[in-house]
C-alpha cells in the first residue's frame, strides 16, 4: 500500500460503499421505481418491474433507459424514488473518526441524486466531512461508468486522477477510473451487479471493510 501515501483525494461512491445495508435502502427505492413506472407508463407492476430491471442492466441505471425510451422527466423521477425512510440508519462513529482523521479531500461520486446523498450522509453523521458531491444531474444523466460522467466529475472537483483513490462497491464502475489514472479499490460484496467484472485487472485493491481500509491508510500516511 506504499503507493497510497501521497494520494490527496478520496473519491467515494455512495450507496453500498459508505454504508453496506443496500437492501434496507434500495428495497424502498426499487419499490418506488416500480410504482412510478407503473403509473407513468400505465402498465401493471409486473411489467413495470421487468422494464426497471432490463433498463438497469442495459443502461447502468433504470432512469437512463426510461429517459431514452419513454422521455421520463429525470428530476421528477429522482425526487419520487428517493422519498424514503432512513430512520433505521444509525450514525457510523467509526467511519466518522477515520474520515475525520484522514488528511485528504473527501468527495462523493454517485449515480443517485445530491438530495439522496445528503440524506444518507446526514443519517450516518458524516455529511460535514465531505467537500462536495457529484450526482447524476451533474453527469447530465450519463451514469457511471460512462467516460463523460467521470470527466465531468474531475472537471467539477478540479481533480487529478493520479492523486486519487477511488472506492466503489460496483466493480465495473472502476474501469474508467483506472483508465484515467486513479488507484482503484473495490469493496467486496456478493451483489450480482456489484461483483460483475471484479476479477479484472483495473482493480488495484480489494477490501472488506471501508473504515478498516481508511484506518490503514491513515496509519500509513502518519509514518
Q: Which domains does the chain have, with CATH numbers?
A: 2-21+90-222 (3.40.50.1000), 24-81 (1.10.150.450)
With a cut of 90, say whether residue 7 has pLDDT above it: yes
With a cut of 90, say whether residue 2 has pLDDT above it: no
pLDDT digits (tens, 9 = 90+) for 84-97: 999 999 999 999 99
SS3 string of the chain?
CHHHCCCCEEEECCECCCECCHHHHHHHHHHHHHHHHHHHHCCCHHHHHHHHHHHHHHHCCHHHHHHHHHCCCHHHHHHHHCCCCCCCCCCCHHHHHHHHCCCCEEEEECCCCHHHHHHHHHHHCCHHHCCEEECCCCCCCCCCCCHHHHHHHHHHHCCCHHHEEEEECCHHHHHHHHHHCCEEEEECCCCHHHHCCCCCCCCCEEECCHHHHHHHHHHHHHC
pLDDT digits (tens, 9 = 90+) for 75-87: 999 999 999 999 9
% of the chain at pLDDT higher than 90: 95
Flag whether the pTM goes above 0.85: yes
Amino acid at each position: 500500500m506504499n503507493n497510497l501515501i501521497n494520494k490527496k483525494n478520496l473519491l467515494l461512491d455512495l450507496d453500498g460503499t459508505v454504508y453496506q445495508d443496500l437492501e434496507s435502502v434500495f428495497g424502498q427505492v426499487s419499490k418506488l421505481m416500480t410504482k412510478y413506472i407503473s403509473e407513468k407508463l400505465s402498465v401493471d407492476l409486473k411489467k413495470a418491474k421487468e422494464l426497471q430491471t432490463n433498463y438497469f442492466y442495459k443502461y447502468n441505471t433504470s432512469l437512463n433507459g426510461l429517459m431514452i425510451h419513454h422521455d421520463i422527466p429525470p428530476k421528477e423521477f429522482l425526487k419520487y424514488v428517493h422519498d424514503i425512510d432512513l430512520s433505521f440508519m444509525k450514525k457510523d462513529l467509526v467511519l466518522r473518526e477515520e474520515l475525520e482523521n484522514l488528511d485528504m479531500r473527501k468527495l462523493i461520486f454517485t449515480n443517485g441524486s445530491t438530495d439522496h446523498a445528503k440524506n444518507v450522509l446526514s443519517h450516518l453523521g458524516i455529511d460535514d466531512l465531505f467537500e462536495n458531491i457529484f450526482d447524476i444531474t451533474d453527469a447530465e444523466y450519463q451514469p457511471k461508468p460512462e467516460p463523460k460522467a467521470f470527466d465531468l466529475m474531475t472537471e467539477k472537483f478540479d481533480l487529478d486522477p493520479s492523486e486519487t483513490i477511488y472506492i466503489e462497491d460496483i466493480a465495473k464502475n472502476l474501469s474508467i477510473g483506472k483508465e484515467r489514472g486513479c488507484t482503484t479499490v473495490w469493496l467486496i460484496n456478493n451483489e450480482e451487479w456489484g461483483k460483475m467484472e471484479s476479477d479484472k485487472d483495473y482493480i488495484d485493491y480489494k477490501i472488506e471493510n471501508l473504515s478498516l481500509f481508511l484506518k490503514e491508510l491513515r496509519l500509513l500516511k502518519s509514518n
